[in-house]
Amino acid sequence: MEQFSVGVVGAGYVGLVTGACLAHVGHRVVCVDRDEGRVAGLNEGRVPFFEPGLEELIARARRRLSFTTELPEVVREVDVVFVAVNTPPGEDGSADLSSVASVARAVGRALAEAPGERERPLVVVNKSTVPTGSGDYVSMLVREGAEEAGDGKVDYRVVSNPEFLREGSAVYDSLFPDRIVLGADRRDALDTMRALYEPIIEQNFPAQLDPRPRDAVPFVTTDTASAEMIKYAANAFLATKISFINEIAGICELVGADVTNVATGIGLDGRIGSRFLSAGIGWGGSCFPKDVAALRAIAREYGHEPTLLDATVTVNARQRRQVIAKLQRDLRTLKGKRIALLGLAFKPNTDDLREAPSLEIARLLHSLGSRVVGYDPVAAKRAVGLLPELKVVFDPYEALEGAHAAVVVTEWEEVRVLDLERAASIMESPKLLVDGRNAYHPEDAATAGLLYRGFGRG
């Protein structure tokens, strides 16, 4: 295996997981972040967010993994530099590329100021989720940065390498991906990336997993624009699939069908598949909302109305309001009612609260006069003080004590295994359970003495 020297700019979810996994498979990796506190913490072994398996992976790879705030030094020493900085949505939904642009110019300046000739062109990898055309944009900015430093003839290549990591299983997804997608206009850049990823493609690195999911990982090469679009299209499709089953769930409630049985029946069709067919509150997080918004903005930039994507977002927004409607149906007024939110993170196995449904639901309930108490086994610490209208507790039964209703927002295992009889015994009438993830069997909840309301269940 050829060993590379790799720089990763951005020590967030994507950058830190990417760097740790590349170090694990044998490369020398330096992660760069402008947050001095974050870098200091990482050098002391502290991971700034919750991601299963990541802290242990970093500890095992520390001989080949380091952290710094000094980007120019890293650029001058590495063969490949990943750009993994945030691209938050603007007011119109389009991706804000200011951080990407800043890094690209800095890379160009560092290249121009580097003494001597490089053995090979620096490969600049767009790992951040960026709109179509960003490869050319980054290439232009690297060149401009070099010209600002006095040398516009620096040797580099730009590659698009979108990430497909799921928070909560990001380490697994990096080491055992469904596919690796690379977009570039130069063959030598693709060859470099193929060699870099060879241990993962061939699955010949040390791993505590037997048997492995596959013998080899598909390696997809294309142009930069197509690679960039693959990322947006993948997330938009998954978001649409969730909104589709939620649309079906609404119809199921009207006709008396059970959406969980419907999802099972259609999911067995190989053309459809069973994943992402769970009805409920809908999607949130740092990726789906941002990427769908960006794709809609890209479409409108070219005068195209993305009707299906617009409907995807509309259905998802409706699901949050459905929680309120279900509560109002049985509680009548929400004024003065205590409502427990079970789960605050946007999904299990993460402490990420970005675009979390819980926060929007808490705001809506507060505006209607409710007292809202939230529990989460991991994200509670992050949620403390985030919303003045949300009281955060660290025990689910404390959240349920005296509550007129509970809403399952995140299907944590700690939520799934709650003692429903105990919950009913400490709640106030009507002891309503709004199951926003269809995590419980209606019969079990009813037997325990709870008034059960799921999504798409007749």
How is 162-209 classified by DSSP, letter by letter?
Answer: ---PPTTSHHHHHHS-S-EEEE-S-HHHHHHHHHHTHHHHTT-S--S-
- Smallest CA-to-CA distance from 347 within 167, 174, 172 is with 167
Q: State the catalytic residue, choosing from 21, 31, 252, 287.
A: 287
Count of CB atoms within 10 A of residue 273's CB? 12
For residues 125 and 157, is the Cβ–Cβ distance under 8 A?
Answer: no
Sign, CA dihedral 161-164-170-171, equals negative
261: left (phi over 0), alpha (psi -120 to 50) or beta: alpha
What CA–CA distance (Å, rounded) separates 453 from 437? 11
Name residue 422's amino acid.
R
Residue 31 appears among annotated catalytic residues = no
Sign, CA dihedral 17-21-24-30, equals negative
Sign, CA dihedral 360-361-362-365, equals positive
Order of strands, edge to edge, in the sheet holding 5-9?
65-68, 28-32, 5-9, 80-83, 122-126, 156-160, 180-183, 219-222
Which residues are part of the catalytic machinery? 287
